[in-house]
A and B are shown apart, each in its own frame.
Chain A
């Protein structure tokens, strides 16, 4: 079955860049039937979908407007993983970050069937 394993630092200083990686087993980051997402959870914002990357003849990205100017999600086909970079972080970006898979295609949309273990990222000096 599909498993997602997250890695990355748990503490980031304000104004710096948050970077996390999600390693995929049991599926391919280049799959034409899956998208690879980042979601975060905080007491103040609840669960918030941040964005996704997926391959359909070429690579596509979708990002939520609230972080669109600061976020990059990149695939790494050589390691079968994908990453999250969030620039210019503030304490408001403190949250548990999850990677997740969503199936794409006819009759499939907007649903996360597999999640990573979560990473608590604290933004503090």
Chain B
């Protein structure tokens, strides 16, 4: 199975500052169709995961433009600009290129 490794696992941030989460895959996530199926999910306390980003950098409807995704191949980043209190939660990367689809272990974002 493809292993997704996130860092850091815990990320204290100051309100209004930016935060970056790294995600690395054990294999390239470029699929045979040329797309890279790398997603980012946010899980707020007590809630189900919510997709923020798909195919590396495409934001879902309703997701603030403070969230952005980038990367290629095996290295990916989620950036949160101007962190707000509502951004507290755990963030997961997930690959949909190789069977079975797999998730990273999560990065907990908290306010300092």
Q: Which residues of A contact B (CB under 8 A)?
A: 46-49, 62, 64-65, 98, 102, 106-107, 109-113, 115-118
A111–B37 CB distance below 8 A: yes
**Residues in chain A near residue B104, CB distance under 8 A:** 46
B31–A109 CB distance below 8 A: yes
**Residues in chain A near residue B102, CB distance under 8 A:** 49
Closest chain B CB from A16 CB (angstroms): 25
Using A48-B103, A110-B37, A110-B94 as known contacts, list a sample of 16 further A-B pairs with CB atoms less than 8 Å apart, ordered by residue number in A: A46-B105, A49-B100, A49-B103, A102-B96, A109-B31, A110-B96, A111-B39, A111-B51, A111-B54, A111-B55, A111-B94, A112-B39, A112-B51, A113-B60, A115-B48, A115-B50
**Residues in chain B near residue A48, CB distance under 8 A:** 103
Q: Please measure, in the bound complex, the distance between the C-alpha atom of A118 and the C-alpha atom of B41, giving whole angstroms.
A: 15
Closest chain A CB from B5 CB (angstroms): 12
Chain B residue at minimum C-beta to C-beta distance from A51: B100
- Is B76 in the interface zone, CB < 8 Å from A? no
**Residues in chain A near residue B31, CB distance under 8 A:** 109
| A-B interface contact total, Cβ < 8 Å | 56
Asked whether A49 and B101 contact (CB < 8 A) given A109-B31, A109-B35, the answer is yes
**Interfacial residues of chain B within 35-51, with CB under 8 A of chain A in the complex:** 35, 37, 39, 41, 48-51
Q: Which residues of B contact A (CB under 8 A)?
A: 31, 33, 35, 37, 39, 41, 48-51, 54-55, 60, 92, 94-97, 99-106
B49–A109 CB distance below 8 A: no
Closest chain B CB from A93 CB (angstroms): 17
Q: Please measure, in the bound complex, the distance between the C-alpha atom of A55 and the C-alpha atom of B56, giving whole angstroms.
A: 27
B96–A116 CB distance below 8 A: no
Name the 7 nearest CB pairs between A and B, nearest first: A110-B96, A47-B103, A115-B48, A64-B100, A110-B37, A110-B101, A49-B101
**Residues in chain B near residue A64, CB distance under 8 A:** 100
